[in-house]
Amino acid sequence: MIKFATGLALAVVLASSGASAQNVTELRVAKMKEQGAAMGALSKMAKGEEPYDAAKANQQAQVLATHAKSIPSWFPAGSKAGRAKDEIWSDSAKWQQVSAAFVTETTAFAQVAGTGKDPMAAGLGKVGQACGACHTPFRAPAQ
């Protein structure tokens, strides 16, 4: 009976830790997809595939700027999974520098995105580069 109870407790601990690691990965992938969607909507406006809408541009830029501030919290120690590379944790100084640069870039972008199509389009290019500046060293290729 004691043996059974211990086994059960261990199974519960394993199941719950497994579930939480999975939730962390699911959350960050969902948040990254929101960033991808925001970039897609802005890019359509920048290319003229959709009419420029200042309120919409501002709203999408706010999504990017808000998400940017929480990116580091989506990658807690021990949450390596998916396409997250080891370097996020083994080179945390660079990771923090790149994350901070992304906050700066998206904050600046949020200030111009709603002011006109041209400044939005110019800023969008820089934000896209900042996405890549993190993906190149820290995101593994899709399987």
Question: Applying CB under 6 A, which residues contact ligand HEC?
Answer: 25, 28-29, 32-33, 35-36, 39, 64, 71, 81-84, 98-99, 102, 127, 130-131, 134-135, 138-139
The size of the chain, in residues, is 143
The residue whose two tokens read 């080891």 is: 86
- Angstrom distance (rounded) from CA 24 to CA 21: 5
Closest to ligand HEC by CB, 6 or 86: 86
- Angstrom distance (rounded) from CA 39 to CA 2: 56
Closest to ligand HEC by CB, 11 or 80: 80
- Angstrom distance (rounded) from CA 6 to CA 10: 6
- Between vectors from CA 43 to CA 37 and to CA 47, what angle results, nearest 5°? 150
Closest to ligand HEC by CB, 41 or 134: 134
Shortest distance, position 25 Cβ to ligand HEC, whole Å: 5
Shortest distance, position 84 Cβ to ligand HEC, whole Å: 4
Shortest distance, position 89 Cβ to ligand HEC, whole Å: 11
Shortest distance, position 57 Cβ to ligand HEC, whole Å: 14
